Amino acid sequence: MSRTALLIDHQWARIESLMPSSDGSAGRPFRDHRSILEGIIYRFRAGIPWRDLPENFGPWQTVWKRHRRFSCDGTWDKIHSRLLAEADAVGMID
């Protein structure tokens, strides 16, 4: 596993369908959600400022903006709810 590739395929598959689409929106289409999400995870795990993200995640401003967008549009809430429901269904939550 790479130091910066943080999500394995089956983890990504569980949340990929919850990512918002940029279809029908004005402006550029979204950059790959997976690399952006890995940049967000990396930033919180490493405890670094946004500006110190490694370049392979893309521009730090893009990663920060997507994190903020996900916070405002409820994407993080959807991911959290899905993962909690899956864990509860298999008895991992008391």
Give the tens place of pLDDT for each residue, 17-70: 999 987 766 777 777 899 999 999 999 999 999 999 999 999 999 999 999 999
Q: Is the pLDDT of residue 3 over 90?
A: no
Query: What secondary structure does DSSP assign to 15-78, as a single string?
Result: HGGGSPP-TT-SSSPPPPHHHHHHHHHHHHHHT--GGGS-GGG--HHHHHHHHHHHHHHTHHHH
What is the mean pLDDT of the segment spanning 5-23?
89
Confidence (pTM) = 0.84
Confidence bin at 2 (pLDDT 50/70/90) = low
Q: Using only C-alpha atoms, what is the Rg of the chain?
A: 14
